[in-house]
Amino acid sequence: MSKTLQIQVDPFLCASQERTISGALHYPDLMIIQHDIDPSSGPIEANLTFSKQGKFVVLTGRISANLVLQCAACLESIDFIVDINVKLAVFDDESMLSVLPDDYEPCVFEGDRLMINEVVESEVLLVLPDIPRHEVCPSALPTSSTDKDFTLEPEQKKNPFEALESLKKH
Ligand SMILES: [Zn+2]
């Protein structure tokens, strides 16, 4: 059993201890991205280590998951693999934004605690497509519209041979 990531930590204390947090978030645990992914998605696994980089607390490691999204065009599922190389500078003072170490993304928190699950979900949210779509949908679609509210009745499609038939009759 993997540990949950639903924990609050003191980033400064964790950094001084060089603490590593590893665990998983399952679909029912999700608070931010639950509506963006399918319930059949696999758990989001993370292995993150706090340390210090100059005066910054940094959080580095990996977040990975095999998620399932719904295609906006055909409504079938899309396998979406998440593999994020995490390099976050963690701070509670926005004035530090201007002196962020190179290659690190900012992770600002309020109060004195950092919610690990929020950090993990926010990172995954950044890589999710705004509108999930297959590159090529598995089933053929009407080319006239990709809007899911648009339905084309197959009976309304004109059969070109029918048109030819009616021409011949004249
Ligand atoms: Zn599709």
Is residue 64 within 8 Å of 84, Cβ to Cβ?
yes
158 within domain boundaries: no
Is residue 60 within 8 Å of 89, Cβ to Cβ?
no
Distance 71 CA to ligand 1 centre (A): 5
133 within domain boundaries: yes
147 within domain boundaries: no
Res 112: pLDDT: 86
Measuring CA to CA, which residue among 8, 135, 12, 7 is closest to residue 69? 135
Res 95: pLDDT: 84
Distance 124 CA to ligand 1 centre (A): 21
34 within domain boundaries: yes
C-alpha triplet 69, 70, 75: angle, nearest 5°: 165
**Which residues have a beta carbon within 5 Å of ligand 1, which is an ion?**
71, 73-74, 134, 137
124 within domain boundaries: yes
2 within domain boundaries: no
91 within domain boundaries: yes
Q: What is the pLDDT of residues 108-155, one digit of tens each?
A: 888 889 999 999 999 999 999 999 999 999 976 555 555 555 554 444
Res 94: pLDDT: 83
Res 97: pLDDT: 83
Sign of CA dihedral 102, 104, 110, 114: negative
Q: Is the pLDDT of residue 98 over 80?
A: yes
Distance 133 CA to ligand 1 centre (A): 5
52 within domain boundaries: yes
Q: What is the pLDDT of residues 10-66, one digit of tens each?
A: 999 999 999 999 999 999 999 999 999 999 999 999 999 999 998 899 999 999 999
Q: What is the pLDDT of residues 105-118, one digit of tens each?
A: 999 888 889 999 99
The count of structural domains within the chain is: 1
What does pTM read for this prediction?
A: 0.78
Q: Which helix (H) or strand (E) holds 87?
A: strand 77-91
Domain range for 105: 8-141
Distance 37 CA to ligand 1 centre (A): 15
Q: What is the pLDDT of residues 56-93, one digit of tens each?
A: 999 999 999 999 999 999 999 999 999 999 999 998 88
Res 139: pLDDT: 76
* Residue 152 neighbours by CB under 8 Å, 6+ apart: 142, 144, 145
